[in-house]
Structure 1
Amino acid sequence: MTIMPFACLTAGVVMGLRNMPSKFYSLATIVTNVALVFLMVTIGANVGINDDVMNNLNTIGLNCALICLLAISFSVIFCYIVEKKLIDFDKISKKLNKDNIKEEKKQSKIDPILIIIPFSIILGVGLGYYFIPSGYAHILNYCLIVFLIFLYTSVGIGMGSNIGVFKFIKAIGLKIVYLIIAIYIGSITGGAVASLITGVPLKYAVISASGLGYYSLTGATMMHFYGAEAGVYGFMVNVMRDLFTVILIPIFMRISPSAAMASGAGGNMDTLLVPVTKAVGKELGVIALAIGIIITILVPIILPILCTVI
């Protein structure tokens, strides 16, 4: 799973650089959208068949939702400040290619697929809860991998067909670190505020918010340090981060280019890469991917540290 994203992206970029017929790129877009819908149904089904999550929706679900939303909100706010003070995406785009700005304005309308995605997740949850036996979880995981392969390859094709993407990465450079710091500080702040509001133990709220979408590792780590209830918080808060990011993308598009990336956090590396890229464009989609990769590397290091100091 670690090598797969890079292999598929590389293959896609190579195909995108080869000046394929326009029908090829149209087909790639269709494949991307279909695979994205099925991926979201699969993610929803994974939630629906998980008894721990579904059984606790009424008791701790609201607390987890509030922790998640506050973590997202503060991440978006801090990244917005960084973007305006240190990284002007629009200014960089203008310097690189004036034509890109015209194109972005044409594409500023909400992509219909972003409206379909939330309903796909809801459908998946319903299917998982009512129709799919829990013993089929491994099949859903295989489906997840297959759909991700299609998505990564399609995203790579889009990146390869747009040379401006690579110029954009060079222009941003190490400033991407500022965004990652803002996402982390924002999430920790949101978790702390949620603890004050809900009465959830500070360590549960802050550490679960610090998972940044890495739900499997966060849930397992918190369960190891604090027990089953903490593990449920770690899992649910970060599953919800993916779900809320998808649902709120149309709103993020109207706030700033960094908003969707801030909310997606670690999910920008895999399941959220395509929705976020559709929202922010191919150039910033690469930045989102880089943010996701770096965060995914940092989370396994930072989580145990937080568990020992809080």
Structure 2
Amino acid sequence: MIVAPWFLALSAAIAMFVSGGMMTGPAVSDTQEPHAARLIDGKGFAARMTQDIAADVSAFYDRHHITPGLAVVLVGNDPASEVYVRNKALQTHRAGMRSFMHMLPATTSQKELLGLIERLNVDPEIHGILVQLPLPAGLDPVVVTNAIIPEKDVDGLGVVNAGRLALGLPGIVPCTPLGCLLLLHHYVGDMRGRDALVIGASNLVGRPMAELLLREGCTVTVAHIDTRDTASLARQADIVVVATGVRELVRGDWIKPGATVIDVGISRVTLPNGKTRLVGDVKFDEAVKRAGLITPVPGGVGPMTIACLLRNTLDAARILVEGPAR
């Protein structure tokens, strides 16, 4: 079974986006407080990634007269998911790829959903398939995700790609952890010997993020719902990646001075004046005073997730059309 190689999803991406003088350093505001952490500019990084991906898509078309196609499936009418899916479609078009949207009602049966995935699996115009999670009640996300053939599993969540990641074999890497790693490579550099804490053990982010950090030579700890004293673990960590879905869980005094903080979470809160704003899983106003580097919310990890989805789709198209790299 052929899947997109690890070095296509990671090493080549790092070489392309981190080297070559494209980015010479993190963007830091001149008005930033003297003792505040430097902000990790995920939005700018992702925009430059997308530009380079668009150039690669054009070169791919010149070679094969084929435009990579990404199919995104959304079941139900969750407003947040609808906005996110439409943004994915917009970014796909900006990168010069084709976007195929499948908006299904919440009443869709598992049999109907699996039938659609089966058709997409054999459609030569589709090189990547993504089913937006979470799914409505009654649909099994494990069964649905694993119905996507590994070659088109551009979210890297199927058991084949997840197993290959765990074993250090070629495979498609989940988009959000890959985006976090690319930011760490650019802003931190060599991570060998660093103490890293991943807060959250989901299959979507936490577990694959821990595997990626292990590959970088970090000493990795994973904190989860049963961890007794996550704050103490965080105070020892050089790198903290937080993906819990619990808004502002991590407080400033959890952060080791000078540590790098990657905040994957995003939640919308209502302010006393009735307006809303987005916050992460880290109490930013506190953590920014202790960290050395930190991702803002929004503008940090979110744009990187979509950029890595585009990169995975192009890599999948290369494998499906050109065969595995040798």
TM-score greater than 0.5 by the shorter chain: no
Query: What TM-score do you get using the length of structure 2 for normalisation?
Result: 0.29
Which has more helix, going by share of residues? 1
- Please state which structure has a larger fraction of its residues in strand: 2
What TM-score, normalized to structure 1? 0.30
